[in-house]
Structure 1
Amino acid sequence: MTDVRRLVPRTDAVLALPAVAAAAQRLGRALVKEAVVAAQGRARAGEIAPGDVADAALAALPGTPTTLTPVLNATGVLLHTNLGRAPLSAAARAALDVAAGTCDVELDLATGGRGPRGTAAIDALLAAVPGAAAAHLVNNGAAAIAMVAACLAGGGREIVIARGELVEIGAGFRIPDLLTATGARLREVGTTNRVHRDDYAAAVGEDTAFVLKVHPSNFVVSGFTHSCGVDELTGLGVPVVADIGSGLLAPHPLLPDEPDAATTLAQGAALVTASGDKLLGGPQAGLLLGAPGEGAELVGRVRRHPLARAVRVDKLTLAAFEATLRGPVPPTRTALDADPRDLLARAQRIADRLRADGVDARAVESDSTVGGGGAPGLTLPSAAVSLPEPYAAVLRAGTPAVLGRTERGRCLLDLRAVPPESDDALAGAVGRAR
């Protein structure tokens, strides 16, 4: 009898097949060859027929060369850090496609000489925050506050900060560690739960570089507490720098306690720092906004600092950031502004469709959150499709992957962060998970 293993096609023969060669053009030869070798191994083990090697290899290939997997965010957390925070708008994605090729990121097409870098993105930011006289972009929010510390206090000068604002955010990242790593010294004032203007005033001296206000972001201290707003800290003889964290540029009616850039500058902050991939709804970036006068001068100093090159944004970020500000409302803002009644109606339609297919699905009211360190303690009324709990694990492993949350023995697919155009994909994923 002929050993079936002798019938397994050679690797070069499989790679030469038109469909496999086309996949290699799209995904890279190494990735496709790896899939072919794995399929050959299955054939030698008797799992598949030798003639099915090519089809098995093609079936095992990913859609793109990246290992990242698209996920429908049905957790009810608008800015889910584990899911990359803010999803980009269609306009921002289109801008990424332009920037991905060769483009005039540092070229003046009129003269053929070198042109300014990032001017359009900065202009868009200044247009969105008219109270700012100058702005600068770096690669993330932590870099923004680190650059301010390095530039203004890096030679061992002091940063005055309330003890209750020496916060730790995600993955063990601590604000005090970041600040002292720049060579600055911290002058802590007040107690964990209470700090007054007199505490700041007593701490300001010849070595003080600036007073820093840090938004707690991911926690709330309640009870016997007192803190000072930016407006209370002006007039101490040193600049006030405010890290608002979430990237909210102007007040939002649903987020009355969330600091925004426009208000913070109006209250007297010389510099405001924030993230671009949170409530602003754009790509990962760190924003620096300077008030007229001293603030604008400080932004200029940060821009000229030697470390500025190390944390500058690339052409992809510049393109997506500008498009986020100039283009239509980004998905994060759309999700934030969603009407709970519309969400419940969507949940009911999906649940009715699934029940018709025999799925134990119900439309229920739920609570969602901003996430990403924004609006801690605040819940937003939402709606969800409720399923038996075992669906949670199956949906995570599906295509598309769907991430929900479990509560009281049920899997909830909250719709606030799911765009309406994805409802069919969500229902289809549940149907396949039965």
Structure 2
Amino acid sequence: MAGEPDDDPRRRIPRTDAVLAHPRLAEAERVLGRAVVKSVVVTAQQRARAGEIAPDEVPGAALAALPTLASSSCAVLNATGVLVHTNLGRAPLSRAALDAVMTSGGNTDVEFDLTTGTRARRGRGALAALADAVPSAGDVHVVNNNAAALLLCALALAGDGGEIVVSRGELVEIGDGFRIPDLLASTGARLREVGTTNRTHLADYAEAIGPATAFVLKVHPSNFLVTGFTSEVAVPELAGLGVPIVADIGSGLLAPHPALPDEPDADTALREGARLVTASGDKLLGGPQAGLLLGDADLVQRLRRHPAARALRVDKLTLAALEATLRGPAPPVRAALDADLPPLLDRAARLADRLAAEGVDAVPVESAAAVGGGGAPGVRLPSAAVSLPEDYAAALRAGDPAVVGRIERGRCLLDLRTVAEDSDEQLLEAVRRCTS
């Protein structure tokens, strides 16, 4: 250009196509897409034109600016001691479920019979696995979350102005400001509230039931406890009222678990007389986000054939992950729930000793874990943790992978009930990075 000296360093800035041909950038383009990679190259070229970096530093600057993944999500080691941590994505999937998701990411037989070459029932494998897991269910259906399951019940059974009878003490908020009464009222159903906040009796339900009653809704208040002068009516008593009982158990426990004696489960609720049960797939079941519907075959069929069911259906990835969760080895949430205390204490002692030998202020301590995710409120699971100085918490969260612990009494606790044993070395390395 006129007026520019021939030795202007900007003339040495490599062309975009030349930088994109760099082997590592070409590989990044395969993972992240051309637009993302090209944008960081152009930014690096602009920095060179502004004199911030030398022309030959453009490829390196572009590589340094690349995001590591196409998604903005960051891998996290959950060391909080909360088994189902809503803010960390609730249940982590099992290896079997992750493999199933990878397989189903391509073309799959989700609605195709490979034997006959004809169309088949969508998600039949996942539905069969769910039915096998809850033998007392006449039929099952899956939608995209538990709120959707409850919404579909209201639409299909009471959406024409029918009444839903529910205790005032069970009109809960389910998270992010969404409330059960608002959800149900949005379907066109009418709510008939009975009892009081702390006490509801069988007579309250009986007096409210009439010709317009579509069903009685029993909601498990799974994320809080009301203690003291309280009473509620259990499913077996409600079943004698002569109208369908829909039990929203919430947490996704399909069968009783000895560590959670007060947590309702789907199989027991159906055996006690509930006509329909709704539950979450990504809580105590340990699977993907899904709403599980189990119960009488005729009612489940009504739900399945309702027009809204099409809008609430799950995709092939969810179906694959759900089936693998039900058929495969115990998912991480179940493994954490079943973990025995002595091995946890031994792990905490070994990890703390190794860190202490390297000069880290680390000590093993006993701790208490929780179920979380709106399940088993008040239940404390005995656990063990590695205790570190409080300032480690922020540094650990900034790592890759990020490690999230909890702060108690001015110390950062890394609770091992929610950290798989095969992640211990990863946990150690994360602490070492903070120390260095």
Query: 1:408 is matched with which residue?
Result: 409
CA distance in 1, matches of 2:180, 2:87: 20
Query: 1:427 is matched with which residue?
Result: 428
CA distance in 1, matches of 2:42, 2:389: 40
Query: 2:395 is matched with which residue?
Result: 394
Shift of 1:59: 2.9
**Paired residue for 2:114, among 109, 114, 121?**
109
SS in structure 1 of the partner of residue 83 of structure 2: strand
Shift of 1:119: 1.4
- TM-aligned CA distance change 1:429 to 1:49, over 3 Å: farther
1:15-414 equivalent positions in 2, closer than 5 A:
15-44=20-49, 47-290=52-295, 295-414=296-415
Corresponding letter in the other structure for 1:327:
G
Per the normalisation by structure 1, the TM-score is 0.96
CA distance in 2, matches of 1:302, 1:346: 48
Corresponding letter in the other structure for 1:317:
T
Shift of 1:385: 1.1
Corresponding letter in the other structure for 1:366:
S
Q: Deviations over 1:176-204 (max 9, x none)?
A: 11100111110000000000000000000
Shift of 1:378: 1.0
- TM-aligned CA distance change 1:406 to 1:5, over 3 Å: farther
CA distance in 1, matches of 2:179, 2:301: 27
Per the normalisation by structure 2, the TM-score is 0.96
Q: Deviations over 1:84-135 (max 9, x none)?
A: 1111111111111111000111112222221111111111111111111111
CA distance in 1, matches of 2:431, 2:413: 12
Corresponding letter in the other structure for 1:374:
G
More deviation in 339-348 or 30-39? Answer: 30-39
Q: Percent identity?
A: 69
SS in structure 2 of the partner of residue 122 of structure 1: helix
Corresponding letter in the other structure for 2:360:
V
CA distance in 2, matches of 1:209, 1:275: 23
SS in structure 2 of the partner of residue 39 of structure 1: helix
Q: Deviations over 1:127-147 (max 9, x none)?
A: 111111111111111000110
Query: How many equivalent pairs are there?
Result: 430
- TM-aligned CA distance change 1:405 to 1:44, over 3 Å: farther
Q: Deviations over 1:268-295 (max 9, x none)?
A: 10100000000001111100111xxxx2
CA distance in 1, matches of 2:361, 2:84: 29
SS in structure 2 of the partner of residue 225 of structure 1: coil
Shift of 1:347: 1.4
CA distance in 2, matches of 1:142, 1:164: 18
SS in structure 2 of the partner of residue 205 of structure 1: coil
CA distance in 1, matches of 2:373, 2:47: 44
Q: Mark the runs of 5 or more structure 2 residues left unpaired by the alignment.
A: none
